[in-house]
Amino acid sequence: GGGLHARAAAKGLAFGAALATRHLAEADLMAAFRADCGLLVAEYEMKWAELEPQAGNRRWRRADQLVDFARRNRMALRGHTLVWHESEPRWVSDLSARGAEAALARHVDETMQRWRGAIGTWDVVNEAVAPEHGRPDWLRRTWLLNRLGPDHIAQAFHIAHAADPAARLAYNDFGVEHATAWSRRRRIGILTLLRALRASGVPVHVLGVQAHLHAGQPFEASEWRAFLADVAALGLTIEITELDVNDRALPAAAAPRDAGVADLVRRFLDVTLAEPAVRAVVSWGLTDRHSWIREGRLAEHRRRDRATPRPLPYDEAMRRKPMWAAIAAAL
């Protein structure tokens, strides 16, 4: 139908969203996935800590359920994410450097072999550039960095490429989209990393731009366009991998809040989709009902009695919001 993926596919692009296995039973949500998504990514189930909670104890079932859902509905899949400091199993931090190297290699190989041919792009490494970029060691101090050094990033990509030479391999990160000094420093850090990887022959094919946007923060079309062109000039394609909008800076009432979110999404996607190297747009869920921005450390609305976040294309009752129309208009 006139769903988002149909519009994307008409331009050779893909549109999709993140899904968690626990929501597969929600018929209204599944109907929206079928109507709008040609691409799926597991919100949790393919992260290392979920796949191997104890060394050698591989738990594939929950991720398999999402892969089966995608297959039944003829959706492509993104793999998220092989290496991420926030989802390393605890047992890994007890290993020696050599033990860590072996565990990393086994994890990447076994995981990619499991769904070989079903997953088009893998986020091999997620969020490796230090958030407070500007320090000389602009890589985040992760367990893997201090055990294996900066080369662990290249190692992960080489192992992934050997495991499935047909898979497109992505470096995925956040905090590059806005016209702020912090985002500018992060864009430099990420371009520096990508240039170094490409210069040393590392098989990285895609930059994943998470696009966790912030309403109220400036967005400058010209600098965003220039960054995307710089990434494309490295021979990489680009995927928008986790689109949502933190709307806490907007008015509490739903109508102006939804309008502000839709305006930012429209401006962002108009510039983004003008770059030919951009091949996919994935939102971090479809419905406000399950957004991560309503959970955990981000759920400040509960602590400070603020308006409940409305970061995604559908509301809690699965009604399309202005953000849905903004994505549709940009595709």
Helix (H, G, I), strand (E, B) or coil at 100: helix
Q: How far is the CB of 71 from ligand XIL (least distance, A)?
A: 23
E strand segments, the chain = 14-19, 39-42, 76-83, 121-126, 168-173, 206-209, 212-214, 237-246, 278-283
Q: Hey, CA dihedral for 138, 209, 100, 89, is it positive or negative?
A: positive
Total residues contacting ligand XIL by CB under 6 A comes to 7
Buried b (16+ CB within 10 A) or exposed e, 222-242: ebbeebbeebbeeebbbbbbb
Q: By C-beta, is 41 or 108 nearer to ligand XIL? A: 41
Q: How far is the CB of 255 from ligand XIL (least distance, A)?
A: 27
Q: By C-beta, is 210 or 272 nearer to ligand XIL? A: 210
Q: By C-beta, is 46 or 100 nearer to ligand XIL? A: 46
Q: Can you tell me which of 171, 224, 292, 314 binds ligand XIL, judged by CB under 6 A?
A: 292
Q: By C-beta, is 81 or 237 nearer to ligand XIL? A: 81
295 binds ligand XIL (CB under 6 A): yes
- The residues, any chain, with a CB within 8 Å of residue 134's CB and separated by 6 or more, are 185
Point out which span in 68-76, 177-185, 243-251, 291-299 binds ligand XIL (CB under 6 A): 291-299
The DSSP line for 168-220 is EEEEEE-S-SSSSHHHHHHHHHHHHHHHHHHHTT----EEEE--EEETTS---
Q: How far is the CB of 209 from ligand XIL (least distance, A)?
A: 11
Site map for ligand XIL, 43-82, x if CB under 6 A? x---------------------------------------
Residues 119 and 64 sit within 8 Å (Cβ to Cβ) = no
- The residues, any chain, with a CB within 8 Å of residue 146's CB and separated by 6 or more, are none
Q: Is 242 labeled as catalytic in the residue annotation?
A: yes
Q: By C-beta, is 242 or 247 nearer to ligand XIL? A: 242
Point out which span in 271-279, 288-296, 303-311, 318-326 binds ligand XIL (CB under 6 A): 288-296
Q: 41 vs 46, 105, 131, 156, 205, CA distance in Å?
A: 9, 22, 24, 20, 18
Q: By C-beta, is 295 or 316 nearer to ligand XIL? A: 295
121 binds ligand XIL (CB under 6 A): no
Q: Can you tell me which of 21, 111, 183, 210 binds ligand XIL, judged by CB under 6 A?
A: 210
Q: Can you tell me which of 1, 12, 136, 296 binds ligand XIL, judged by CB under 6 A?
A: 296
Q: How many residues does the chain have?
A: 331
Catalytic residue among 45, 88, 242, 300: 242
297 binds ligand XIL (CB under 6 A): no
Residues 291 and 20 sit within 8 Å (Cβ to Cβ) = no
Structure tokens at 129: 């550039």
Q: How far is the CB of 221 from ligand XIL (least distance, A)?
A: 25
Q: How far apart are CA 46 and CA 67, in angstroms?
A: 10
Active site residues: 242
The contact set with ligand XIL (CB under 6 A) reads 43, 126, 210, 242, 292, 295-296
